[in-house]
Homo-oligomer: A and B are copies of this chain.
């Protein structure tokens, strides 16, 4: 779809904002140069579907800026989001050629893409890429399993609190902020997208957000901007054990 004209603003890897967290994190300069040779950028607008489930995937990619979702849709339309992609997250699977999920931009998104074939060849020669990808995949697996607990056992209120806590954390992480009591961030998701991620209806999402607001656990400026006066209270509502899922 839509080939954009942003190619000219392509930053080089040295100044890339996700250089030290993405799949290329461990690469040395020669390896990086090889990656740089086969990379290209694409950008997408909020709401665009980047990849359709079942489509042939001829590239893999890293999210550079913005947020996207991975979603599964049943034949009757029931929809479940199975992953949130933040900057540095990886899309696609070496060795598979059709996409298993829809990938949808929920904000404007910039991706750093690699054609799959050359990427796979490079991976075979460059253990650092495979190592980093394994690390990232194991992290994603942990995140998916944490989400299984949420989907299977948490109440609607706990689900909302968990999502807000996670977005707050990732958002803070991107800005390199230390842990602090107060945080403000933008929700990169509509109520419906939240519902799809949490296994709820959008009405329930709206009601629970209203309830958290009413009780002073969050404050809203507009529909999307959230201020959390006391992050520990929010984490308590999420019913996560101890650290609220901070990497141990």
Q: Which of A's residues lie within 8 Å of B, judged by CB?
A: 70, 72, 74-76, 78-80, 82-83, 93, 95, 98, 100-101, 127, 130-131, 133-135, 137-138, 140-142, 144-149, 151-153, 198-199, 239, 241, 248
Partner of A80, one of B79, B138, B149: B149
Between A72, A127, A134, A147, the greatest number of chain B beta carbons within 10 A of the residue's beta carbon is seen for: A134
B74 and A142: CB pair below 8 A? no
- Chain B contacts for A98, CB-based, 8 A: 248
Are B83 and A145 neighbours in the complex by a CB distance under 8 Å?
yes
Known pairs A127-B130, A137-B137; list 6 more (Cβ under 8 Å): A74-B149, A75-B239, A80-B153, A130-B131, A151-B151, A153-B199
A-B contacts, 9 listed (Cβ < 8 Å)? A70-B145, A72-B146, A74-B153, A78-B153, A80-B148, A80-B153, A130-B134, A137-B137, A151-B199
Complex CA–CA separation, A131 to B133 (angstroms): 10
Shortest A50–chain B CB gap in Å is 17
- How long is the Cα–Cα vector from A80 to B248 in the complex, in angstroms? 20
A141 to B93, CA, bound (A): 11
In-complex Cβ contact of A95 among B76, B79, B83, B135 (8 A): B135
